[in-house]
Amino acid sequence: MGPDISFRDNFTDLNSLDAVKKAGRKGDKQALREVARQFEAMFVQQMLKTMRATEDVFAEGNFTQSSEMKFHRDLLDQQMSLQLTKGRGMGLAEVLYRELDRSYGKMLPQAGKSSTGISAAESSPKTIAPATAATIDTETTKPADKDGFIDRIFEQARQAAEKLGVAVEGILAQAALETGWGRAVIHNEKGESSNNLFNIKAGGDWQGDVVSRRVKEFRGEEAYQEQAQFRDYPDLTAAFEDLVQFLSKPRYQHAVNTGSAAHYGQALQQAGYATDPHYAEKIARIATDPEFKQAVARNLL
DSSP β-bridge partners for residue 213: 228
Q: What are phi and psi of 222, to 5 degrees?
A: -90, 125
Query: Rounded to an integer, what distance in angstroms lies between the CA atom of residue 112 and that of residue 286?
Result: 32
Question: Is 242 among the catalytic positions?
Answer: yes
Q: What are phi and psi of 34, to 5 degrees?
A: -70, -40
Query: Rounded to an integer, what distance in angstroms lies between the CA atom of residue 253 and that of residue 182?
Result: 27
Amino acid at 175: A
Q: What is the largest CA-CA distance in the chain?
A: 65
Query: Rounded to an integer, what distance in angstroms lies between the CA atom of residue 103 and that of residue 97?
Result: 10
Annotated catalytic residue, options 13, 162, 209, 217: 217
Question: Is 145 among the catalytic positions?
Answer: no
Angle (deg, nearest 10), helices 279-287 and 67-84:
20
Annotated catalytic residue, options 40, 242, 289, 291: 242
DSSP H or E stretch at residue 274 = none
What residues are labeled active site? 217, 242
